[in-house]
Structure 1
Amino acid sequence: MTRASTRPSEDLARIDTVAVAYADRVAGLEKTDAVRRAERDRLVTAAMPFAGRLARRYRGRGEPLEDLEQVARLGLLKAVNGYDPARGSFTGYAAITITGELRRHFRDRTWGVHVPRRMQEMSLEVSRTVGELTRELSRSPTIAEIAHRTGVGEDQVLIALETATAYAPVSLQAPTPGDSGTPLVDLIGGPDGDLSAVDDRVTVSSLLCRLPARERQLLAMRFYGNRTQSEIAAELGISQMHVSRLLSRALTWLREAMLSDAPHEWQASAVPSDRHELAIRAVPRGAVVVVEVAGEVDRDTAPRLRDALLSAMQGRPDEVRVDLGGVAFVDAAGIGALLCGLDAARGAGIRLTVGGTRQYVRQALRVAGLGAFLAP
């Protein structure tokens, strides 16, 4: 028992003796000298168990013992190369060098995610404080108690606690708890709206090139330049209402072209001036009156459509067919005019149907509840 207890001190004394002899023998020799290298190997061999004991102190911290021993041996070589007998014993100097190398290894090599050194030290300090307060209070300490003990702000304590999770992050391929065993990576993230819109963006870009220069300029000023309709009108020298109509017509064409496999060519407006026209013609065909409509039905032209429908019912026909084949745009006011005509037809016992609609106009009428009156 006595021999076992005195052996460590005997080993340290023996290593110090070998170190002093090494320093005396290599004094004045070049680093590449064979004698110097042989003496260094002799000292390293003698101190290797000492380095292994220091490495074993750090077992159980998530690093394999073999890796720790390699780091300790690297520190031993640095201690041998920097040893100066005039500054003290070799074992004392080697212990500090090897321990520092081991701590540096844990600081720089074992963190799963790189974080600043200051946050590493703060995380270790907070972890140590949590352990102390838990033993003292017999419960988990609060953030305020940890901040008071460490002398930092509560926000810094929260950051330090989050930083501690970066030491050994969970693998994205690790199975989630439960029977499914689904990898964690399959549960992270969601649909990317920008990615799903790539096809639409590419399609719109190609369709914009098919618009006239004026319409492209209007769309660019409105949606890329964030200009108001009044600002656009003032710059182009037209009315704000005309800007609104031009934008509506261009957007309507883009919508129809997006929904069509073979988009039709852009048709220039029949009215080049700022004056907006709606062409309406009532054609009697026996007991049926066909109301042909062409243009854009908005709040300015909707009253004309309403009056035309009421006028077509004055002769008491059996049916009034509204042909919207020439209508590229209809807004809420236009839908209101159709509803007014529908109410009048019901009151007079006349059947009213809507046909020839383009895809966008047809969709708008269905959303407004007029799907039942749309002709196939």
Structure 2
Amino acid sequence: MTVETVERNRLETCLPAEPLPQPLLPGDPSTMSLGEVREMTDVLFARLRGLEEGTREYSYVRNTLVELNMGLVRHAASRFTHRSESMDDIVQVGVVGLIKAINRFEPERGLEFVTYALPTVSGEIKRHFRDTSWSVHVPRRLQELRIELARASEALHGELGREPSTPELAARMGVPAADVVQAQIAANAYTAGTLETPGSDEDDHSLHDRLGKVEPALETIENILSLKHTVAALSERERTILHLRFVEELTQTQIGQRIGVSQMQVSRLLTNILATLRQALVA
């Protein structure tokens, strides 16, 4: 399920079952001036305070506040256009932050809603990227340390004219060198590569094509080499029994007829031979 679907479902649960007869907005919010939006927001919050939470009217007024302040969400989302995620998904996450701001806003404190809501919306979008952008999950402390590391590296590179060393980075960040190393390792988990990426401009073969593969018969070869001396130490009859059973694939009865013994004797001989070979493998 996409972010857009999740947030659309969340908004739909707040909408009234049937439209209220009178629209609360005088026109299209996108054509209203900033002053008109702020004035209408104050009016809607005053009306919201007089309604019981959970009622159809309360949900309708709150959703009108969301619609009225979508410009604020789009403004906050525009700061993240450099991200690979689609703008529609970022806006949907911002709507969640806007709803949280509406639910928590207290007009009696004298603070403008825009001043209160913008950090809440931006924080929700940042939290979304923090929780979903990393290819491999790492602790939040290392995520924040990676950002500090990037800033320190850029600053020191400009001052020194070269790549800074780990001790220099640790001194600039005020953390142990071990933490710098951890942050450098964590940075590798931010994005994930693909085994289908070509090796170079001249080589069209992917990394997947160049990776070694486990040879299925490798273990068999190792076992044969390990048992070579043990088999050589067997008697000629024992080696003949092994050959007839596992190379020519004769039955115990057929082996007995070939070497002139009973099937029961062949069974006992095979059991002893295999026990000897098994012991040589685990020794």
Q: TM-score scaled to structure 1, two decimals?
A: 0.50
How many residues are aligned here?
215
Give the Å deviation of 1:69.
1.6
Larger radius of gyration: 1
CA contact (8 A) 2:231 2:239 kept: no
Q: Note the alpha carbon deviations across 1:48-102, whole angstroms, 9 max, x for none.
A: 0111011111221333322222211221121122221123221112111111111
Residue 147 (1) aligns with residue 147 (2)? no
Structure 1 counterpart of 2:88, which letter? E
The separation in 1 between residues aligned to 2:171 and 2:39, in whole angstroms, is 49
Residue 262 (1) aligns with residue 245 (2)? yes
Which residue of the other structure, out of 162, 179, 192, is the alignment partner of 1:156? 179
Equivalent position SS for 1:74: helix
CA contact (8 A) 1:15 1:91 kept: no
Of all paired residues, the percent bearing the same amino acid is: 31
Name the residue aligned to 2:252.
Answer: none
Which residue of the other structure, out of 79, 92, 101, is the alignment partner of 2:115? 92
The separation in 1 between residues aligned to 2:240 and 2:53, in whole angstroms, is 81
Residue 31 (1) aligns with residue 14 (2)? no
Give the Å deviation of 1:109.
0.7
Name the residue aligned to 2:193.
Answer: 170
- The alignment yields a C-alpha RMSD, in angstroms, of 3.5
Name the residue aligned to 1:127.
Answer: 150
Structure 1 counterpart of 2:66, which letter? V
The separation in 2 between residues aligned to 1:160 and 1:136, in whole angstroms, is 21
Equivalent position SS for 1:191: coil
Q: Note the alpha carbon deviations across 1:209-236, whole angstroms, 9 max, x for none.
A: xxxxxxxxxxxxxxxxxxxxxxxxxxxx
Distance 1:66 1:268, change over 3 A: closer
Name the residue aligned to 1:65.
Answer: 87
Which residue of the other structure, out of 95, 101, 120, is the alignment partner of 1:79? 101
The separation in 2 between residues aligned to 1:81 and 1:259, in whole angstroms, is 82
Higher share in strand: 1
Residue 114 (1) aligns with residue 137 (2)? yes
Distance 1:154 1:188, change over 3 A: farther
Equivalent position SS for 1:167: coil
Name the residue aligned to 1:105.
Answer: 128
Which residue of the other structure, out of 55, 70, 73, is the alignment partner of 1:48? 70
Structure 1 counterpart of 2:168, which letter? E
The separation in 1 between residues aligned to 2:241 and 2:81, in whole angstroms, is 66
Structure 1 counterpart of 2:160, which letter? L
Aligned residue runs from structure 1 range 1-376, under 5 A: 11=34, 13-87=35-109, 88-191=111-214, 196-197=218-219, 252-253=233-234, 256=239, 260=243, 262=245, 265-266=269-270
Dislocated runs of 4+, deviation >6 Å: 198-201, 248-251
CA contact (8 A) 1:253 1:266 kept: no
Give the Å deviation of 1:31.
3.0
Structure 1 counterpart of 2:146, which letter? S
Query: Relative CO higher for 1 or 2, CA cutoff 8 Å, sep ≥ 6?
Result: 2
Distance 1:192 1:249, change over 3 A: closer
CA contact (8 A) 1:123 1:164 kept: yes
CA contact (8 A) 2:241 2:270 kept: no
Equivalent position SS for 1:262: helix
Q: Note the alpha carbon deviations across 1:232-288, whole angstroms, 9 max, x for none.
A: xxxxxxxxxxxxxxxx8788449958973625744989xxxxxxxxxxxxxxxxxxx
Distance 1:268 1:46, change over 3 A: closer
Give the Å deviation of 1:159.
2.1
CA contact (8 A) 2:170 2:180 kept: yes
Equivalent position SS for 2:69: helix
Unaligned runs of 5+ in 2: 1-32, 247-265, 274-283
